[in-house]
Amino acid sequence: MTALELIGASMKRIGVLDANETPTGQEANDGLERLNSLIDGWGTERLTMYTSLRTTWTIVSGQAAYTVGTGGDVNIARPIYLDDLKFIDTSQSPALEMPLGVLTVDAYAAIPQKALTSTYPSYAYYNLTFPLATLTYWMVPTSGTLQGVIYAPVAVTEVALSDTLSLPPGYRRFMRDTLAVELSPEYQVEPSSALRMSATDSKANVKRANIRLQDLSVGPMWRPRHGQYNIFSDTGA
């Protein structure tokens, strides 16, 4: 299904097109603007994203901060959410991918010596600056054999009228019926309760399919100095 066909199907759902009609040029352009506005909004909803992308880049010795986004040091679409941050020591064979703690705004602000250096970083702070986000390591790594690793969910991208939509199961109904509800005010149409329910249910199904199991994590301040935390004794085992 192309974006134009999706727009036509959505318009038929609210009765502004007959079965054999297609959108006019203006209707198609208006529908595309509404569709891309929806897609832009879905970029803020983690569970509308069906996959996670792993990206690596070179960590420069002594450099703490890296821009993240299209054209940045980490050249990917600027992620609002992160699934994980790690780093790789390429001097080892095989290369070893090691975890990083992710700092909150308060935790990063509480660090008194932000320029402190170490061979390896211990934590990373991800700041949603715009148009490029900023990823800052602490402590500042001095090794010349490191790569950064970011795992970030990938949002559905905006489309042109002729683009073919190739998405996982469930997205066709979700996008068609949600767009139909979105277009209704443009044509002074009150969407039926069945259409609204279909849009809501299809979105819930997509989000349910995009849920991924995650390991339970414990913040650094709650970790015992040695060993593992024991929930029964409330101590480090």
Confirm if 59 and 140 have CB atoms less than 8 A apart: no
User: Is residue 97 domain-shared with residue 117, that is, in the same domain?
Assistant: yes
- 37 found inside a domain: yes
Residue 232 scores a pLDDT above 70? no
Measured in whole angstroms, how far is the alpha carbon of residue 86 from the centre of its chain?
17
- 218 found inside a domain: no
User: Is residue 99 domain-shared with residue 82, that is, in the same domain?
Assistant: yes
User: Is residue 76 domain-shared with residue 43, that is, in the same domain?
Assistant: no
Give the pairing type, strands 117-118 and 140-141.
Answer: parallel
3-state secondary structure of 186: helix
Confidence of residue 98 (pLDDT cuts 50, 70, 90): very high
User: Is residue 139 domain-shared with residue 124, that is, in the same domain?
Assistant: yes
- 112 found inside a domain: yes
99: CB partners within 8 A, 6+ apart: 84, 86
User: Is residue 66 domain-shared with residue 106, that is, in the same domain?
Assistant: yes
- 169 found inside a domain: yes
Residue 231 scores a pLDDT above 70? no
User: Is residue 97 domain-shared with residue 148, that is, in the same domain?
Assistant: yes
Residue 37 scores a pLDDT above 90? yes
Cα dist. 23→30, 47, 90, 113, 116 in Å? 10, 31, 55, 61, 61
| Among candidate residues 154, 187, 221, the one where a domain is terminated | 154
User: Is residue 117 domain-shared with residue 88, that is, in the same domain?
Assistant: yes
Residue 221 scores a pLDDT above 80? no
- 113 found inside a domain: yes
- 217 found inside a domain: no
Residue 197 scores a pLDDT above 60? yes
Average pLDDT over residues 37-66: 97
User: Is residue 115 domain-shared with residue 64, that is, in the same domain?
Assistant: yes
Confidence of residue 78 (pLDDT cuts 50, 70, 90): very high
- 194 found inside a domain: no
User: Is residue 72 domain-shared with residue 145, that is, in the same domain?
Assistant: yes
Confidence of residue 224 (pLDDT cuts 50, 70, 90): low
User: Is residue 72 domain-shared with residue 104, that is, in the same domain?
Assistant: yes
Measured in whole angstroms, how far is the alpha carbon of residue 184 from the centre of its chain?
29
Confidence of residue 216 (pLDDT cuts 50, 70, 90): low
Q: For the chain, where are the alpha helices, taking DSSP H only?
A: 3-13, 25-42, 105-109, 171-183, 193-209
Average pLDDT over residues 122-139: 97
User: Is residue 64 domain-shared with residue 148, that is, in the same domain?
Assistant: yes
pLDDT of residue 212: 83
Domain carrying residue 88:
52-154
Average pLDDT over residues 94-114: 95
Confidence of residue 217 (pLDDT cuts 50, 70, 90): low
Domains contained in the chain, number: 2
Average pLDDT over residues 137-155: 97
Residue 218 scores a pLDDT above 70? no
- 93 found inside a domain: yes
DSSP code of residue 92: S
